[in-house]
Every structure is written in C-alpha cells, then in structure tokens.
C-alpha cells in the first residue's frame, strides 16, 4: 500500500489542499519529509491519513471550519497492485466513495492491511512524541520482558498474554485446585442442601395423608355451614323487602287520590308549554316593528325631495378626471423643468473637448466619435501590449539561464559516462533486484539459535521416552505403533467405569444389608428366648401333630392313643395360649422374619452382581491384553483403560518431540542451503555489474559491496537524468523566445491596420499606445456630450406641447360649465374639479336613499307575513281548548302539566315497588301486600337475627380450622415439591456438566495459545533481535553496541550492551535511551512485517524533539533503509531536520505545508 496523492479537500484548517507524493521511485528509497511551522497542520495530516483509511469518527476535532456534512478527504492510493482514487466523507455508513461518487466497501482501501484495524495501525505504523514516550514507559511496565517488548513492536501481540491471564481467571472462577471458594463448590453445596430437604419431605408422607383427609372433612363442614346461613339470609331478605314496600304503597294510594280530585282536561302537545311565552313576546315585537318602519319610510321620502341634480357636470366627469390626473401634472412639471434643461444645454462644452483632441476646427464633431467595435479592438491591443513585452523579456532571461546551466552540467557529465551503457545499466538493475530479493538477516545467528533449540528438543525427547517405561524402544518404533482407535478406548473406559461402579454399588449394598441381617437375627433369637417358639412354623407343626394324634386315636381307640392325643392337644393349647399371651411379640417376630428373608435375597443378589462385575472386568482385561500385544510384549498396562490413556498421551508427547527434532533439522538444512544460494546469486550479480569482490567474502561483505556500487550507480543515473532535463528545458526556452518575438511582430501589424481605418491614421506618424489611451477617454466624453444635448432639446419641445394642450382643455371646460376665466389655470382647474365632485356626491346620496327606502318596504312586508303566521298559531291553541284568549290557554296547559306530573310519580313508585318486591307487575304486589301483618313480620325478623349471628360464627370457626389445616399441608408439601426439588437437582447437575466442559475447553485453549505464542516468538526472535541490535547501535551512535537476551526469574529479559562492555537491563536505562530502544524495536518490527506482507506506509510525527543533530541523522538513516521497502513519511516543524534528511539521502522528497496552503488559496480565488 502506498499513498500517491493526498487531497485535503475540506478537513480541519485545510481547504482544497493537495499533497502530491508522486509515483514510487524505482530502485531508490521512498522517503518523504513534510515541513510546516507550528499550527500548520502536521498532526491534522497524520489524522487525515488515518481517517481516510478507517473512516472519520462520530465526533472529530477537525470539524471547526467545515461542518460535519461537508468534510471530505481524497487520495490516490496504490493498493492491491493498482492505483485507485478514493474519497472519504463524514457519514455513519457508506462513507468511502470512488471518484464517480459511488459507494465502496472499506475492504477496498484496506486490501493490503491483512485485517489490521485502526488501533493496530496506529501502534505499528505511526509514531509521535506521545507514543514514543508511552513506549519508553512500556519498557518499564514490562520489566524488560523480551517477548512483550519484541512483539508489541511488530506483530500486535502485546495484549495476548494479558488476555490469556483474563481467560485463565475466568476458568479458575469455576474450579481451582486447593481453592477455598469457586462456582463448583457452590453448586455442590446447593446439591447437598437439596438432598437434605428432599429427605425431610419424604419422611413426612404419612402425616401429609392424615392432614389431607382432615382437610377434606373440614371442606364438607364449611360447605354445609355456608348453605344453612344462605337459607336463613334469604328468608330475612324476603321479610325486609315486604317491610320496605309498605310505605311506598301508602304513597301511591295518596297520589292516586290527588289525581282523581283534579279537573279532567285534554293533554296538549308538549311543545305548547314552551311556545306560549315566545308567542306572547313575538306579538309585542311585531306591533313595535310596524310602527318603526312607517316612521323611517316618511323620513327617507322627505330627504329625497330635498336633493338638487347637475347633469352637465356629471356628463363632463370623465374629461375632468383625465385633466387632473394626466394633463395637470405634466403642465406643472414642465413649468419647473424647462428652465433647468435650458441651463444644462448651455453647460455642455463640445468645443472644449474638440480642443483637447486637437480638432478645434472640426465642423462635424460626430465624425470623430469611434464605433464600439473599433474602441474594443483598441482597448484589447492596449491591454495585451504589456503582457507581450513581459513575455519577450522573460523568455530571453529564461533562455540565458537554461544555456548557462546546461554548460555547467556538461562539464561534470564526463566522469559518469561509463555507467550509461545499456549493458551496464541492465547489470546494475539485476544487482538491485537481487539485493532486494535476498534476505539480509544474519543466518549465523539464526543457525546458533536453531542448534540451541535442537539441544532442548533432544532433552525433551529423551525425557518423553523415559516417561514411557516400562516400554523400551526408539522413536521410529514409537511412531510406527498400531494403536487402538479413540472410539475403542472410549468403549473400554466406559465398560471399565460401568463395571467398577456396579461392583462398588453392590459392595456398598452388602456393607449396608449384612449388618442389618445380623441385627434382625439377633432380634429373632431374643424374641424366641423370651416368648418361646411362637412363630407360625411352630404353630403349624403343633397343629399338625394334634391332628395326626386325633386320627390315630379314632382308628385305634385305646388308652395309649388317647393319652397321645391328650398330650398333643395340651401342647397345642399351651402353644396357642402362649401365642395369645405374647401376641405383640408374635406379630413383631413374623415381621422380622419376613424382613430377614427379603434382606437375605438382597444379599444373594449383591453377591451375584459382584461376581458378574469381576467376570466382566476379567473379560475386559483379556480383550485389552490381546489388542495391546502388538505395542509391547514387556509393558503391562493392567486392566485400567485410564492408565493406558495416560501412556498414550505421553506417547503422543514423545512423537511430537520427535517431529520437532525433525523440523529443526530440516530448518537448519534450509538455512544452510539458503545462505549458500544467496551468496552465490549475490556474488554473480556483483561481478556482473563490474564490481570487485572476493569469492571467499561472506554475505554481509557482499551486501556492503553491492550497496556501495548501487549508490554510485544511482548518483550517475540521477546526473544523466538531470542532463536530459536541462537539454529539454533549453529547447523549450528557445521555442518560447521565438513565440514571444512572433507575437510582438503580430501586435505591431494589427495596431497599424487599426489606426488606418479611422481618423487616427490621418497623421503622418502612428500614435503611441499611451496617446491613444488618452484620446479614447476624451472621445467617450465627446460622445456623451453630443448625445445629452440632443436629448435635452427633444424633452423641452415635448413639455411645451403638453402645456399648450392643458391650457386649451381648461378654457373649453370653463365654457361648458359657465365658469368665469379671470383666475389662473391652476385655480380654474380646482373650480372645475369641485363642481364635478359636488354633482357626483348629490347623485350618490340620491341612489343610497332609494336603496334604503326599498329595504324598508321589504322589511314591512316581511313583518306583516310574520303577523299572519302568529295569528294562525294562536287560533289553533284557542280552538283546541275551546276558549278565546291566550290567558285561558295558559291556565289549561298548567292544569294538564299537574295531572301528567302526578301520573309520572305514580308510575315511578309502582316500578320501584315492583323491583323491591321482586314481582311481575303492580297487581301482584298489591295482592301480596293486601293481607300482610307488619307486626308479625317484624317479630319473625327479630327471631332470625341471632340465628344469622350463630351461623356466621360457625362459618368463621370452620373456615379458620380449614385454613390452619391448609397451611399445615403447605408447610409439609406434596409430591410436586419433591419433584420440583429433583428437577432443581438435575438442573444443577447439567449446569455442572456444561461448565465443566467449558472449563476443560478454556484450559486446553490456554495451553495451546501459550504454546503457539512461545513457538511464534522463538521462530521470529532471532531476526528481530539482530535488526533491533543494529538499529539501537546506529541510533545511539555506538554508545550501545546492541541488545541481547538473558534468562531471568520469570523468563528471558532484554539487556542493552554498552560500548565499554557493560550491560544494563532494559528497565534500568535512562529515559532518552529507553526512547531510542523503543524506536529501534519499532524499526525492527517494521522490517519483520514487510518481510512477509505487502509494504504499508510508516508515518512519524516530530519524534526527534529530544534528539541532537547526530542522533537525528542516524534516525534518518534508519528511515531511509525502511523507505527501501515501503513509503516512509516524516512530519516536522524544525527546518534544520529537512537539511539533515537531505544530507542523509539527497533524493528525499520535501513538501512544504505553507506552500501547499497558499496554492490551495490561490486556486480558490481563481475559481471564484
């Protein structure tokens, strides 16, 4: 990636500024220095590059001049092998555009970054005084740890160790060996708690059933008590309804009597009661309005008779209006302007202007005025005269300067002629390509490092083989072993674990059952000793002996059989008596013997499971022995697959150690072969370029010879290019001089031709440019004076004509209106206008009064129509009631309203009574209340009150007992609680299993990451150490000869080796030395990065504030070396640093921010 051009269109203090870095130089370093004083925009330029690549943030400090929505950065960037134009604007999304303003993905501009984000880019490829100081602090913070210091400067791995520590802490939070508290211990404690709780609930099952039965009984009692109280409440409510209905019934009877006492009258429409007051009011208003209209009509007719008309004045109104609005203003203006215009004509001095032109005797001044085209041509030639003269002078000076520079350069070109042949140029280009393609790392150091690694790997391999005892053999035999598959090993482990678990479970049951069996045998012996043989077998045997004796006695019927039967019968009776006497002991004995028989069966089953597990383990051992016979005949792995798995793991470690040994041996061979090939290629390229080098020289010496020869070659090529440019410049200057002379001759010809076509060519000699410039100025005044005089004369004539027309019109109107002409024209005009206005006012007044009279007549007719309508409405009301006046109508309406109010009240009370009594209609209610005795109902209600109170107490007591029993049941819990506890226990077990799996994944990942990090650092450390040592030696100007690694308490640490032979740990260096060491590490990191990836620009912003000139010079040497691989940009406000950079590398490209901003401002002014 390379920035060819940076466009700061609208960003920070920049407007339309362009920094052109040019194309990448071929075969020379790509080093740029941007200079600008304080506040010139160096840091802004650095941030602009970052914002271009990674986007402008949501909040930016560079929006102070240009609003956010107008900010814009552009660039031409070489990325992904081609030059492309990009534009970045301030937008949350889709902010990257191409030059046609089409949206692009951010990956287009970051194609060469390999996934590097803004933070990593800022850390690895940009450097300022803040990051330099922070780097020195990081050296202190890392305590000189070698891996942290090296790879925080190159590979972006500085935070990886800290992240691994955080991940290890996450894993230890679940389980840590010998840790006092962890998530696993908390989960195990929760399992124990749930186990105890379940055991407590299982022990209370019998009590739960008893209380549940009691709860069902209390539910029945509570339902019965509620039913009894509901029946009593319903009877009390019925009595209360009847008692509440009795007063309402009495009110209904009273209202019915009042209704019967009123006179019967027809019911009018409901609206009549509201309309009657309105009718009375309308009758009065109509009478008053008729009187008012009649009076107004009389007054208007009198006013109309008093008005006098003037028809002559009305007929002349249009002409009088034109007179006052048009002719009179023109007349007044003419009286004022004619004297002024006459004076201006006298002031115009055409003769004076003719005298200035040298044409005082000119009879026709208009002939001297030139047309616009001729004047334009004269002015164009005059304006171009100075440019043509300046162009000719400048071309002559530039040609002289170019010829002098070409002569000076031609004297120095002869000593570089030998490098200008095509074959020599091709040979040096091949040498440059070969030197860049070959690695410059010290293979000897890398080889020594590999040998140390091989010794360590050999020790690891020997230790790994020793851990495989009792197996004996070589690594090749170990790798060629035929091992059981993972599935087979897992099957063995599962079978072994299952058999061991089954045997363990059976032995645990035996350990529990056998003591119980011995205890039950002891209890049976004690019961038999205390109560005799009273168990069921003895009773059955005694009864069988008695039956046998009875059968024998019936068959023989002799004294002996009778005695035998008597003896058997007495023995049986005694056993029965003894059994009845010890009935409890007999029951307990029977229960014990039954339990003992069950325990004996369980013991036999446990023995069988133990024997079965032993047989299964024996079969597993035989199968494993048969399968593993091919591995070793001497090694005995037993029958535990776990031991075999551990041996296989150690075998894998040994095989991996053997592979590491082979890889190291291959790497050593590769390095040796690569060094030989590199030396061979470089030696051939050096000799091909005509340089002197010994065949026995080492690679570093050959590189030095090649770089020295290339430097001389580059200087020669640059001198040749400069000579070519000077020749081309001389030819161009000569061409420019000829063009300037040609333009001067053409101007003279056009001037002579233009003067000849006008009166200026009448003189013997052509006028000079300055003379013609003055003549044109006077001719402009002459043309204006002639034009102004003609215009003033025309205006005076028109004004005099308007005045005469006005006077004639005034006199004519005076004759028509019979007005005396003794006054002035202005007075006469006013008198005429007043006469016309008076006539118009009289006419307007007559027309207005006529309109008012018509309106009053219409109003009178409307009032009479309303009076007729009102009479019809009054007649309708009087006819309805059979009366003659409105007062009688009002009386009848009030009587009807009273009757309707009584009927409404009766209806409302009847409805209320029906609702209170819960009846179908009022007739049913009257029938119920006809035979009611109020005192009897009140007595019944008084008896029901204590019954309700007793039933309330009973319901409350039963409910209390029921609630108490429910709480007791809830305290015990049912089967669902046990199931919930079991569900919680299984959930915790699943959680333990899941977290344990994640714990093992984290542990395995941590181990793999640490191993990979160690391998990465070991493989890349040697090259970086070499580069960092060289950079540190250069930048410290030999005060330190380099850096080295030394074993420390927690690993290898970095030490600085001084020129005197002493050494210091990295964290013991001074502040300035730490800054230089950090810069050296960054330089080494950049070389490590570009060795394996596409080059990326490296940007540094004024990091040499504390450097003296000598160290600044060495720092620029490092930057120049870096610029040989990729673009390096250094920003500074120190003028002397630009001179140092030019001294170190003459081909450095300098960019001045002040000049860039001035050019942008001039470009903006030109655009305006």
pLDDT-derived band at 539, boundaries 50, 70, 90: low
Q: Does 859 share its domain with 912?
A: no
What is the arithmetic mean of pLDDT over 776-795?
74
> Distance from first CA to last CA of the chain, Å, rounded?
36
Query: What confidence tens digit (pLDDT) does each residue in 1029-1074 have?
Result: 888 888 888 888 888 766 555 556 778 888 877 788 777 788 778 7
> Which residue would you say has higher pLDDT here, 647 or 113?
113
What is the arithmetic mean of pLDDT over 1113-1121?
91
Residue 134 in any domain: the answer is no
> Which residue would you say has higher pLDDT here, 247 or 78?
78
Residue 978 in any domain: the answer is no
Q: Tokens in use for 282? A: 């309308």
Q: Does 798 share its domain with 843?
A: yes
Residue 151 has pLDDT above 50, yes or no: no
Return contacts of 507-512, CB within 8 angstroms, 24+ apart. Answer: 507/606, 507/610, 509/602, 509/606, 510/603, 510/606, 510/607, 510/610
Q: Does 12 share its domain with 95?
A: yes
Residue 236 has pLDDT above 50, yes or no: yes
Q: Does 912 share its domain with 809?
A: no
**Most confidently predicted of 63-72, 276-285, 936-945:** 63-72
Residue 152 has pLDDT above 50, yes or no: no
Residue 553 in any domain: the answer is yes
Q: Does 852 share its domain with 963?
A: no
Q: Where a domain ends, among 636, 651, 668? A: 636
Q: Which of 158-162, 260-264, 681-685 has the least mean pLDDT? A: 158-162
pLDDT-derived band at 1013, boundaries 50, 70, 90: low
pLDDT-derived band at 154, boundaries 50, 70, 90: very low
pLDDT-derived band at 35, boundaries 50, 70, 90: very high
- Read off the DSSP letter of residue 264: P
CATH number at residue 1143: 3.40.50
Query: What confidence tens digit (pLDDT) does each residue in 436-492 have?
Result: 666 655 566 677 777 877 788 788 777 777 777 767 777 776 666 767 777 777 777
Nearest to 327 by CA among 822, 824, 799, 796: 799
Domain count, the chain: 4
- Cα–Cα distance for residue pair 1031/1041, rounded to 1 Å: 10
Q: Does 511 share its domain with 578?
A: yes
> Do the Cβ atoms of 109 and 77 come closer than 8 Å?
yes
Query: What confidence tens digit (pLDDT) does each residue in 379-419 have?
Result: 787 788 778 878 788 888 888 887 777 777 666 565 555 56
Q: Please state, for a pLDDT cut of 70, what percent of the chain lies above it.
A: 83
Q: Does 794 share its domain with 832?
A: yes
The predicted pLDDT at position 766 comes to 72
Q: Please state, for a pLDDT cut of 90, what percent of the chain lies above it.
A: 7
Residue 445 in any domain: the answer is no
Taking each helix axis as running N to C, give the angle between helix 129-141 and helix 1071-1092, from 0 to 180 degrees, rounded to the nearest 10.
Answer: 100
Residue 959 in any domain: the answer is yes
Q: Does 235 share its domain with 309?
A: no
The predicted pLDDT at position 156 comes to 44
- Cα–Cα distance for residue pair 204/264, rounded to 1 Å: 88
Residue 472 in any domain: the answer is no
Q: Which of 235-267 are b and which e, b meaning 16 or more Cβ less than 10 Å from the residue's Cβ? A: ebeebeebeebeebbeebeebeeeeeeeeeeee
Residue 930 in any domain: the answer is yes
What is the arithmetic mean of pLDDT over 994-1010?
81
Q: Where a domain ends, among 636, 664, 683? A: 636
Q: Does 555 share its domain with 601?
A: yes
Residue 953 domain boundaries = 206-261+900-972
Residue 153 has pLDDT above 60, yes or no: no
Residue 271 in any domain: the answer is no
Q: Which of 851-875 are b and which e, b meaning 16 or more Cβ less than 10 Å from the residue's Cβ? A: eebeebeeebeebeeeeeebeeebe
Q: Where a domain ends, among 972, 992, 1021? A: 972
* pTM for the model: 0.36
Residue 313 has pLDDT above 80, yes or no: no
Q: Does 859 share its domain with 918?
A: no
Q: Does 510 share its domain with 628?
A: yes
- Read off the DSSP letter of residue 34: E
Please calculate the CA angle 909-911-915 and round it to the nearest 5 degrees. Answer: 115
- Cα–Cα distance for residue pair 526/1164, rounded to 1 Å: 122
Q: Does 941 share its domain with 844?
A: no
Query: What confidence tens digit (pLDDT) does each residue in 607-649 have?
Result: 888 888 788 878 777 777 776 666 655 555 566 677 777 777 7
Mean of all residue pLDDT scores within the chain: 77
């Amino acid at each position: 990636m390379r920035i060819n051009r940076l466009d700061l269109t609208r960003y920070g203090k920049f407007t339309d500024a362009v920094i052109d870095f040019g194309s990448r130089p071929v075969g020379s370093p790509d080093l740029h220095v941007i200079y600008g004083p304080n506040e010139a925009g160096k840091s802004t330029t650095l941030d602009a590059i970052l914002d271009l690549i990674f986007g402008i943030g949501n909040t930016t400090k560079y929006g102070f001049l240009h609003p956010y929505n107008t900010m814009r950065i552009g660039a031409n960037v070489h990325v992904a092998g081609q030059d492309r134009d990009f534009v970045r604007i301030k937008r949350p999304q889709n902010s990257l555009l191409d030059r046609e303003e089409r949206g692009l993905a951010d990956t287009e501009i970051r194609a060469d970054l390999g996934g590097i984000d803004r933070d990593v880019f800022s850390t690895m490829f940009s450097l300022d005084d803040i990051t330099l100081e922070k780097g020195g602090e990081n050296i202190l913070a890392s305590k000189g740890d070698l891996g942290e210091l090296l790879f925080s400067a190159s590979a972006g791995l500085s935070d990886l160790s800290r992240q691994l520590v955080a991940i290890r802490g996450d894993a230890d939070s679940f389980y840590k060996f010998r840790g006092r508290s962890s998530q696993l211990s908390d989960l195990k404690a929760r399992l124990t708690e749930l186990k105890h709780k379940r055991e407590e609930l299982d022990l209370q099952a019998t009590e739960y059933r008893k209380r549940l039965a009691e709860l069902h009984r209390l539910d029945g009692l509570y339902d019965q008590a509620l039913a009894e109280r509901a029946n009593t409440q319903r009877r009390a409510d019925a009595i209360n309804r009847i008692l509440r209905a009795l007063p309402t019934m009495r009110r209904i009877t009273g209202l019915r009597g009042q209704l019967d006492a009123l006179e019967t009258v027809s019911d009018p429409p409901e609206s009549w009661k509201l309309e009657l007051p309105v009718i009375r009011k309308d009758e009065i208003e109509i009478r008053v309005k008729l009187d008012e209209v009649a009076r107004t009509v009389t007054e208007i007719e009198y006013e109309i008779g008093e008005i006098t008309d003037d028809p002559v004045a009305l007929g002349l109104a249009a002409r009088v209006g034109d007179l006052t609005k048009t002719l009179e203003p023109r007349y007044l203006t003419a009286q004022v302007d004619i004297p002024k215009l006459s004076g201006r004509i006298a002031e115009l001095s055409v003769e004076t202007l003719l005298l200035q032109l040298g044409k005082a005797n000119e009879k026709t001044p208009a002939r001297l005025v030139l047309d616009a085209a001729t004047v334009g041509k004269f002015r164009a030639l005059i304006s171009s005269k100075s440019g043509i003269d300046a162009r000719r002078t400048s071309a002559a000076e530039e040609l002289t300067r170019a010829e002098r520079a070409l002569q000076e350069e031609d004297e120095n070109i002869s000593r570089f002629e030998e490098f200008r042949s095509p074959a020599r140029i091709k040979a040096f280009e091949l040498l440059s390509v070969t030197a860049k393609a070959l690695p410059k790392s010290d293979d000897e150091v890398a080889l020594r490092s590999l040998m140390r690694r091989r010794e360590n790997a050999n020790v690891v391999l020997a230790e790994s083989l020793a851990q495989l005892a009792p197996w004996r053999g070589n690594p090749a035999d170990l790798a060629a072993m035929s091992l059981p598959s993972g599935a087979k090993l897992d099957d063995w482990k599962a079978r072994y674990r299952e058999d061991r678990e089954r045997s363990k479970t059976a032995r645990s049951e035996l350990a529990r059952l056998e003591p119980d069996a011995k205890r039950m045998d002891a209890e049976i012996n004690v019961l038999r000793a205390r109560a005799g043989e009273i168990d069921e077998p003895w009773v059955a045997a005694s009864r069988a002996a008695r039956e046998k004796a009875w059968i024998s006695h019936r068959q023989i019927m002799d004294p002996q059989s009778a005695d035998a039967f008597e003896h058997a019968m007495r023995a049986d009776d005694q056993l029965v008596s003894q059994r009845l006497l010890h009935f409890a002991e007999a029951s307990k004995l029977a229960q014990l013997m039954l339990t003992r028989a069950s325990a004996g069966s369980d013991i036999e089953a446990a023995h069988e499971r133990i024997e079965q597990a032993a047989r299964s383990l024996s079969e597993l051992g035989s199968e494993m022995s048969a399968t593993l016979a091919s591995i070793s005949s001497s090694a005995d792995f037993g029958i535990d697959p776990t031991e075999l798995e551990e041996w296989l793991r150690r075998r894998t470690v040994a095989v991996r150690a053997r592979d590491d040994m082979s890889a190291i041996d291959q790497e050593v061979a590769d390095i040796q072969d690569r060094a030989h090939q590199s030396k061979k290629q470089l030696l051939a390229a050096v000799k091909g370029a005509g340089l002197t080098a010994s065949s026995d020289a080492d690679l570093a010496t050959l590189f030095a010879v090649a770089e020295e020869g290339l430097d001389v070659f580059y200087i020669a090529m640059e001198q040749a290019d400069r000579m070519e440019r000077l020749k081309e410049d001389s030819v161009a200057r000569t061409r420019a001089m000829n063009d300037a002379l040609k333009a001067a001759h053409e101007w003279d010809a056009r001037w002579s031709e233009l003067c000849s076509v006008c009166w200026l060519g009448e003189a013997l000699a052509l006028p000079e440019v300055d003379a013609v410039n003055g003549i044109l100025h006077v001719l402009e005044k002459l043309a204006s004076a002639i034009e102004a005089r003609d215009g003033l004369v025309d205006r005076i004539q028109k004004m005099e004509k308007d005045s005469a027309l006005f006077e004639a019109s005034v006199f004519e109107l005076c004759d028509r209106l019979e007005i005396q002409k003794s006054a002035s024209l202005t007075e006469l005009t006013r008198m005429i206008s007043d006469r016309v206005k008076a006539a118009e006012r009289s006419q307007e007044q007559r027309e207005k009064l006529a309109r008012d009279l018509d309106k009053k007549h219409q109003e009178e007719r409307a009032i009479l129509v309303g009076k007729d309508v009102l009479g019809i409405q009054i007649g309708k009301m009087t006819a309805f009631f059979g009366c003659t006046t409105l007062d009688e109508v009002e009386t009848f309406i009030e009587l009807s309203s009273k009757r309707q109010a009584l009927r409404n009240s009766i209806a409302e009370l009847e409805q209320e009574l029906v609702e209170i009594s819960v009846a179908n209609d009022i007739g049913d209610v009257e029938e119920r209340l006809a035979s009611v005795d109020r005192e009897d109902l009140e007595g019944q209600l008084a008896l029901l009150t204590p019954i309700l109170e007793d039933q309330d107490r009973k319901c409350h007591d039963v409910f209390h007992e029921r609630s108490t029993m429910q709480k007791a049941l809830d305290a015990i819990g049912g089967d669902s609680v046990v199931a919930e506890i079991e569900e919680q226990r299984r959930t915790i077990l699943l959680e333990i299993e899941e977290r344990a799996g994640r714990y093992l994944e984290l542990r395995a990942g941590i181990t793999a990451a640490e191993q990979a990090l160690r391998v990465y650092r070991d493989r890349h450390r040697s090259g970086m150490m070499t580069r960092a040592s060289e950079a540190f030696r250069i930048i410290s100007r030999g005060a330190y000869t380099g850096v080295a690694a030394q074993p420390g308490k927690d690993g290898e640490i970095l030490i600085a080796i001084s020129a005197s032979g002493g050494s210091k740990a990295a964290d013991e260096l001074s502040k300035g030395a730490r800054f230089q060491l950090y810069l050296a590490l960054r330089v080494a990191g950049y070389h490590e990065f570009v060795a394996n990836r596409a080059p990326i620009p490296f940007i540094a912003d004024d990091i040499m504030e504390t450097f003296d000139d000598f160290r600044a010079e060495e720092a620029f040497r490092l930057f120049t070396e870096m610029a040989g691989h990729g673009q390096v940009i250094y920003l500074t406000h120190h003028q002397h640093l630009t001179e140092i950079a030019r001294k170190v590398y003459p081909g450095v490209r300098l960019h001045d921010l002040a000049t860039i901003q001035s050019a942008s401002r001039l470009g903006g002014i030109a655009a305006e």
